[in-house]
Amino acid sequence: MEGFLNLNKPKGMTSHDCVGRIRRLLRIKRVGHGGTLDPAATGVLPIAIGKATRLLQYMRSDKAYCATVRFGVTTTTDDLEGEIVTSAPAFSLKREQVEETLPQFLGKIQQVPPAYSAIQVNGTRLYELARAGEAVEVPARQVEVRDIEVLGWRAGDFPEIDLAIACGPGTYIRAIARDIGARVQTGATLARLTRTASSGFHLEDSLTFADVETQLQQGEFQLIPPATALAHLNAVTLNREEARRWCQGQQLRLGDRSILTPPLQVYREDGRFLGIGQINPGETPSVLRPKMVFHPGS
């Protein structure tokens, strides 16, 4: 059993919890996830099964979220899971004021991750330091936000705005909520978060745990094949003799198939996925080298 599962993570479970439950449901030990979601967040959590766990590093890194930001409140964790630090009604805040700040968060920006996050400082995770009461200066790092769209606005003592955010890896939506609040001088925290897309998987195609259990009971459960998860990569197809040699660790000259950008999906002519190959750009003639072989006996 090897492939991927587009899981719709429920609220209240860690990503590690989800991996454990999938292990039990599928009765397989080798399970991993592609991109942590906070326990309070819901939505797309890519799950790799069997040998496919080795492919997580090659999946697309782009993500998309639907986030609700609440103004007038700040917390220790930059979301509603933390303790309230400040709380003051922000009824005078207007949607237009918030919208004016959003362009500042587009493109490649410097972002300070939340104090409660899994980033390590001197070998210790920030959330462990925060829980121990240690004050740590969290270094800023560069992230990329590709798009921010306003989906809705609710006025009131503690107004809320709904945002659709498309971003690159390592972006903390909690930090965006916190920083928008700082820009409009009311403070803000993340109230709700749903990941709508990750690594090429989308929320509308995701399965809940109940869906997985039902499909297993009915004998209809199928994993997403590597070809779907790696569709953004170029692919090369080998005949049976080439496939046998490549899977045994031999290098192959690609000839007229050399105009490709690595890393490459490698398939046998009958459609069987063999693994990941590597070529050196600019090398003439191009030579296909094994980087990750799934089926050594092919």
Domain that holds residue 271: 233-293
> Number of folded domains in the chain?
3
Strand runs (DSSP E) across 34-119, as ranges? 42-49, 63-71, 73-75, 84-87, 107-111
Indicate if 68 and 189 belong to the same structural domain. Answer: yes
Characterise 219 by phi-psi region: left (phi > 0), alpha (psi -120 to 50), beta (else): left
Inter-CA distances, 293 with 49, 112, 244, 267, Å: 16, 39, 11, 11
Indicate if 68 and 191 belong to the same structural domain. Answer: yes
The pLDDT, as a whole number, for residue 199 is 92
Indicate if 52 and 21 belong to the same structural domain. Answer: yes
- What CATH number should be reported for the domain holding residue 217? 3.30.2350.10
The residue written with tokens 């989906």 in the block is 151
**Inter-residue contact 288 to 279 (CB < 8 Å):** yes
The pLDDT, as a whole number, for residue 280 is 79
Characterise 140 by phi-psi region: left (phi > 0), alpha (psi -120 to 50), beta (else): beta
The whole-angstrom separation of Cα 156 and Cα 47 is 39
**Inter-residue contact 146 to 102 (CB < 8 Å):** no
Indicate if 150 and 29 belong to the same structural domain. Answer: no
**Kind plus residue range of the DSSP H or E element containing 25:** helix 15-26
Spell out the residues 6+ positions from residue 249 whose beta carbon is closer than 8 angstroms to its own: 290, 293
- What CATH number should be reported for the domain holding residue 277? 2.30.130.10
Indicate if 56 and 204 belong to the same structural domain. Answer: yes
**Inter-residue contact 248 to 293 (CB < 8 Å):** no
Indicate if 188 and 72 belong to the same structural domain. Answer: yes
**Inter-residue contact 136 to 40 (CB < 8 Å):** no
Is 221 part of any domain?
Answer: yes
Is 298 part of any domain?
Answer: no
Report helix, strand or coil for 101.
Answer: helix
The whole-angstrom separation of Cα 198 and Cα 95 is 28
The whole-angstrom separation of Cα 168 and Cα 293 is 28
Dig out the tokens for 15 from the structure: 């990503």
Is 240 part of any domain?
Answer: yes
Amino acid at 40: A
Indicate if 55 and 153 belong to the same structural domain. Answer: no
Amino acid at 219: G
Is 79 part of any domain?
Answer: yes
Report helix, strand or coil for 180.
Answer: helix
- What is the pLDDT tens value at each position of the chain, 298 positions in all? 789 999 999 999 999 999 999 999 999 999 999 888 988 999 999 999 999 999 999 999 999 999 999 999 999 899 998 899 999 999 999 999 999 999 999 999 999 988 766 666 666 666 665 566 666 677 889 999 999 999 999 999 999 999 999 999 999 999 999 999 999 999 999 999 999 999 999 999 999 999 999 999 999 999 999 989 999 999 999 999 999 999 999 998 887 655 678 899 999 999 999 999 998 776 777 889 999 998 776 6
- Specify the pairing of strand 273-278 against strand 42-49: unpaired
User: Catalytic residue positions?
Assistant: 38
Indicate if 162 and 244 belong to the same structural domain. Answer: no
Indicate if 75 and 183 belong to the same structural domain. Answer: yes
The CA-to-CA distance between both ends of the chain, in Å, stands at 17
The number of angstroms, rounded, from the C-alpha of 46 to the middle of its chain's C-alpha atoms is 7
